[in-house]
Structure 1
Amino acid sequence: MTDDTAADTAAGAAADTRPRKIVYVAEATSHGGRDGYVTSQDGQIELKVAMPPELGGDGDGTNPEQLFAAGYGTCFHNALILVGNRSGYDLTGSTVAAKVGIGPNRQRGYGLAVALSVSLPVLDAEVAARLVAEAHEVCPYSNATRGNIDVTILLG
């Protein structure tokens, strides 16, 4: 991970969503994979990790899909608040719920799919849809997943 732009230039069109400069780095360490625990370098995260029952585990802990859902939902919501504020809208009372699904793919591995449910109770449907579309362009998680996994956004 660097803040150089030389790699961006070589990457062509994909460079549009890459950071020009890294301003923050989060670090977490997995101990034992899906049946272990995860910690962050700053001590804010120390969680037991377990396979969900649907994947053959006991479910006695969080899992990477829950953590990804929490991260994506939070990040998308912040992007939504940002674009709302830029357009003069107060999004107090809005919510974003994220669902992350996992299942086998055609390459004998596993893939993910995401569904984001956005609630903007104070806005009419047209304005809400515009802000959600703008947030999807701003959100780093949306930019990272675009073209890689299915992301469905439901506005309700």
Structure 2
Amino acid sequence: MTTAPRTLYTGKVHVAGGREGVARSADGRLDIRLSTPGGPGTGTNPEQLLAAGWSACFEGAIAIAAKQMKLALPEAPAIDAEIDLNVDDDGYGLAARLNVVLPGLPRDMAQAIVEAAHRTCPYSKALAGNIDIAINIV
């Protein structure tokens, strides 16, 4: 029998003006201008926000995976996330690369941790099978 999910947190953000607008969270912690990627605006864009959110969550999933495997993580893990906004005959789509830095860990250990993190990270689970994803250990 599967237990119904229990909501741990709900992020609430109001966006007005689309890619040339503003985004504000209900709690006031997020208040940013938005602008089209590569355009003249000074704001961020949805692709950068996805890269930031996913990589932060993925780094947390890495820490959980390492703890479950009883492995010590290096002091300076990092992720360089890249989100591509693509267009083809079917319209717009996304692709992603997470370039994971786990200095001091043997490659096979790093790979095992990253694979476990990808299976458990909520962002990874939501995006897997929906966009092209490459996760690289660098």
Higher relative contact order (CA 8 A, sep 6+): 2
Structure 1 portions without partners, runs of 5+: 6-19
Identity %: 37
Separation in structure 2 between the aligned mates of residue 106 and residue 141 of structure 1, nearest angstrom: 26
- Which string of whole-angstrom CA distances, capped at 9 and with x for unpartnered residues, describes residues 13-50 of structure 1? xxxxxxx2212110111110000110000000000101
CA RMSD in angstroms comes to 1.3
The DSSP-based 3-state class of the residue aligned with 1:128 is helix
> Which residue of 2 is the match for residue 98 of structure 1?
81
1:52 is aligned to: 37
Q: 1:70 aligns with which of 18, 41, 52?
A: 52
Task: Measure, in 2, the Cα distance between the counterparts of 1:136 and 1:77.
Answer: 10
Matched residue, 2:18: 33
Counterpart residue type for residue 83 of structure 1: A
More strand by share: 2
TM-score (norm 2): 0.92
SS at match of 1:50: coil
Match of 1:144 in 2: 126
Q: Distance in 2 between matches of 1:64 and 1:89?
A: 34
Deviations 1:94-115 (A, max 9, x none): 11111101011332x2100110
Q: Following TM superposition, by how much is the alpha carbon of 1:122 offset from its aligned partner in structure 2, in angstroms?
A: 1.9
Bigger share in helix: 1
**Structure 2, unaligned runs of 5 or more:** none
Question: Following TM superposition, by how much is the alpha carbon of 1:77 offset from its aligned partner in structure 2, in angstroms?
Answer: 0.7
TM-score (structure 1 length as normaliser): 0.82
Greater than 2 Å deviation, 4+ residue runs: none
Q: Which amino acid aligns with 1:68?
A: L
2:22 counterpart of 1:42:
no
Q: Which amino acid aligns with 1:29?
A: H
SS in 2 for 1:60: coil
Q: Which SS does the other structure have where 1:104 is aligned?
A: strand
Match of 1:21 in 2: 6
Q: Secondary structure at the match of 2:35?
A: coil
